[in-house]
Amino acid sequence: MKLTGNRVNSFLNRPPDDIIGVLFFGPDGGLVKERSQMIVQHFCDTPDDPFSTTVITADDLTGDPAKLADELSALSFLGGRRLVRFRLDHERMGAAIAKIIKNFDTHPEKAEARLIVEGGDMSARSAVRKAFEAAGHFASIGCYPDNARDLGNLIHTSLSAKGLSISPDALNAWIPLLIGNRSIARNEIEKMILYKGDGQTETSPINLSDIRHIAADGQSTSIDDIISDICLGKITAGDAAYRRAIMGKINPAIILRALQRHISRLLEAQSFMANGDSAESALKALRPPVFFAHQNAFKRQLHIWPTRALQSALTRSLETETQVKTAGAPQDILVGRLLLALGQYAQKRNS
């Protein structure tokens, strides 16, 4: 079945018991991940348990076309419902996948697991998409970038939950910077909440100055300068900028979040390049777009940082975030140590 509009939220909040699997696809990868995560809890009681969840990719089916069917029909070792998460990076096995979906739709009693498929931007001619849309026990949900009204509602809702508000002119300036990826938009909103103090004390509404200072495309944002210098291997300049930021009372956690967002953007661009795009084309495909003053530096970073190194950097940044959240932790030292390590790697690659 094909779900659109208000039916999507109703479905995600309470999917029918007879649903076997859901396909999330579209150009907004952040929204694909967000929506797929929303339904995980309905499909599996222990999704983090490796015995309860199996992750497969499109490449896994290239050498073993029956793997998806086998995983869907396999019984749980520990009892309870299993979950199969399928990353559909390409559709070279599209016809085979469509056949499997049709077979389980005809014989739903064979399904011992539930299926979540995360895909990219799929055309209406896609065999996989058509199979999900035509099925009665499977659903297809398109994930497209939020419009200005949706983003405005998201911003207001997120800020209000933390006791914060935003001026109309700041909101109008911020929305265009967030369009294109729900995940990035949420990260930027969280970064702003951290910057304004999480509403724990009385504070003025978010204004244009706050947007310029924190938002992803702020020209004068010292945070962007820190991250750019570090990712280019300019350790001295990056460390000096970091120290100035700390002396200026910028929370190290904000810098860490911005670093994670930047690494994710580089990973996204690298995925475009892995599919044959040039660095220039990959950069232009990013949403929201990279600020023009930072584009040359961003392209240089794509040549310095291969995908595996970026994945390792992201993992290490998440480990640092856990340490930073520990009560009494020396946040500035922990984040500074991470920046130094990343800068040293980039310096060696750029020498």
Instruction: Please say whether the beta carbons of 332 and 246 come within 8 A.
Output: yes
Sequence-distant (6+) residues with CB within 8 A of 108 are 18, 20, 137
CATH of domain 148-350: 1.20.272.10
- Whole-number pLDDT of residue 217: 44
283, 272 Cβ separation under 8 angstroms: no
d(CA 150, CA 179): 10
Q: What is the pLDDT along the chain (351 residues), one digit of tens a residue?
A: 999 888 998 999 899 999 999 999 988 877 888 899 889 888 887 777 777 888 998 888 988 889 999 999 988 766 677 899 999 988 888 999 999 999 999 999 999 999 999 998 888 889 999 999 999 999 999 998 778 888 999 999 999 998 899 999 888 878 877 776 787 788 889 888 888 876 555 678 898 888 877 754 443 446 788 999 999 999 998 888 888 888 767 778 888 988 998 999 999 999 998 888 888 888 888 877 777 667 888 999 999 999 999 999 999 999 998 888 876 778 899 999 999 999 999 999 887
User: Model pTM?
Assistant: 0.56
* Domain 2-142 homologous superfamily, CATH: P-loop containing nucleotide triphosphate hydrolases (3.40.50.300)
Contact 174, 196 (CB under 8 A): no
Residue boundaries of the structural domains of the chain: 2-142, 148-350
